[in-house]
Structure 1
Amino acid sequence: MLAIDRKQFAAGVRWWQTKTNWPNDFHNSDYEVLAAQNPDGDFRDSWWVGFLPRLTTWKALRPLSQADVTSKFNENRDYLARTWHEACAPVKDLDITDVTWDQVRMFPGVVAWLKPTKSGSAVFPSKFCHFLLPRVFPVFDNAAVGGSCTYETYFGLIKRVWEATPAGLQAELVAELSQLIEDDGRGPLYEDFPMATKISELALIGRRHP
């Protein structure tokens, strides 16, 4: 069953809050900071030096070093800028419900060049892209959702899970997650919080960690 199950969503929230050291505002405050820092395709060194530590903190680089990935970033900076403007800029005000993989695939494809893997792991490209457009690009974490898949497969799964969920339940889950964020007390709900991708992620976490 693709549609979100309320019990699975609750289990995902519980796992997030009790089994990780991730913030209980579900990165609400981080998303506001990331939006303010978004270079909109102007990938300068001054942006990269602030972005790289976040990738490290989210364990996206291992086993490579920051120097390894920075070298690849410098080699592919122009390609990143070009594909951002072609694929991402036109959809930056939308969310995953209004975007297809074919529209945006060029950008995560170039991002994957910065940390090439034999398996085509979704971890690095998903986290890099999620930091830039969290409402469009879902984040993949092995410990949370498990399994080995390409980013295209995961993107499609998140999109189908959300779209298969009845509109009424979608609205209820948005209200529930909004209240959890407000109750955390770190600040008001960020107006562009990525509800569709985050709620779907939490539901998949709950399926893996019932």
Structure 2
Amino acid sequence: MKPIDRREFTIGVQWWFTNTRWPRDFHNADYESLAAQNPDGVFLDDWWAGFLPRLTAWLALRPFSRAEVTALLVANRDDLAGAWHQACGPVKDRDITRATWDQVRAFPEVVARLKPTSSPVFRSKFCHFLLPRVFPVFDNSAVGGSRTYERYFNLVKGTWEATSADLQASLVAELTQLVENSGPKPLYAGFPMATKITELALIGRKHA
């Protein structure tokens, strides 16, 4: 697996700032809000009413309607809860370096029923919002290239793990500074460093 190159990370950051309207704090404030709202496997209507608009804002539903996805959520609610407790509960305090696809796959496989398409975008965003340190987010325009979420998960995990510890630490420090210089809040303790740095590097790799 090819490790992260610092130039790729720099290009990825520049692309984020100049080609998107995404938050300049790299969603730091969002991650804190999402953690406070995490249902921990209890996917009730009140939680969904707040979660669904975020999926919509992140363009995760199209071409499905809110009503269609909501109906599929209701139909799969029990399986979703069971998969969360089986796959995510044991790793919810870890990051992607301490989780494998085989450990967590049951959850994104049930999530995929809520929007039955071949694209990994919806399931990656749904899972990322709930467990961002474990599940990397996939965006076609930003990263592209992965036909399945399993492949993208393993690409992110392998790329980070192939990167030297010294460069990992340096990039963590750099992204921490970028977040705190760009946003209204200090770095959230649960910020997904490994997945976010690797995402930025893969963006840079694609757009170099």
Normalised by the size of structure 1, how large is the TM-score? 0.98
Q: Deviations over 1:29-78 (max 9, x none)?
A: 00000000000000000000000000000000000000000000000000
Which residue does 1:63 correspond to in 2?
A: 63
Which residue does 1:131 correspond to in 2?
A: 129
1:159-178 to structure 2, matched below 5 A, reads: 159-178=157-176
Q: Secondary structure at the match of 2:141?
A: helix
Write the distance in 1 (CA, Å) between the matches of 2:146 and 2:137.
Answer: 14
Write the distance in 2 (CA, Å) between the matches of 1:108 and 1:127.
Answer: 10
Normalised by the size of structure 2, how large is the TM-score? 0.99
**Structure 1 stretches lacking a partner, 5+ long:** none
The alpha-carbon deviation at position 147 of structure 1 amounts to 2.3
Which residue does 1:144 correspond to in 2?
A: 142
The alpha-carbon deviation at position 186 of structure 1 amounts to 1.3
**Structure 2 stretches lacking a partner, 5+ long:** none
Which residue does 1:186 correspond to in 2?
A: 184
Write the distance in 1 (CA, Å) between the matches of 2:151 and 2:144.
Answer: 13
Large movers: runs of 4+ above 2 Å: none
Establish whether residue 116 from structure 1 lines up as the match of residue 87 from structure 2: no
Write the distance in 2 (CA, Å) between the matches of 1:161 and 1:183.
Answer: 27
One-letter amino acid matched to 1:75 = A
Write the distance in 2 (CA, Å) between the matches of 1:3 and 1:163.
Answer: 8
CA RMSD of aligned residues (A): 0.7
Which residue does 1:195 correspond to in 2?
A: 193
Which residue does 1:105 correspond to in 2?
A: 105
Write the distance in 1 (CA, Å) between the matches of 2:10 and 2:68.
Answer: 39
Q: Secondary structure at the match of 2:142?
A: helix
The alpha-carbon deviation at position 148 of structure 1 amounts to 4.3
Write the distance in 2 (CA, Å) between the matches of 1:164 and 1:158.
Answer: 10
Which residue does 1:77 correspond to in 2?
A: 77
Write the distance in 1 (CA, Å) between the matches of 2:183 and 2:62.
Answer: 33
The alpha-carbon deviation at position 2 of structure 1 amounts to 1.2
Which residue does 1:95 correspond to in 2?
A: 95
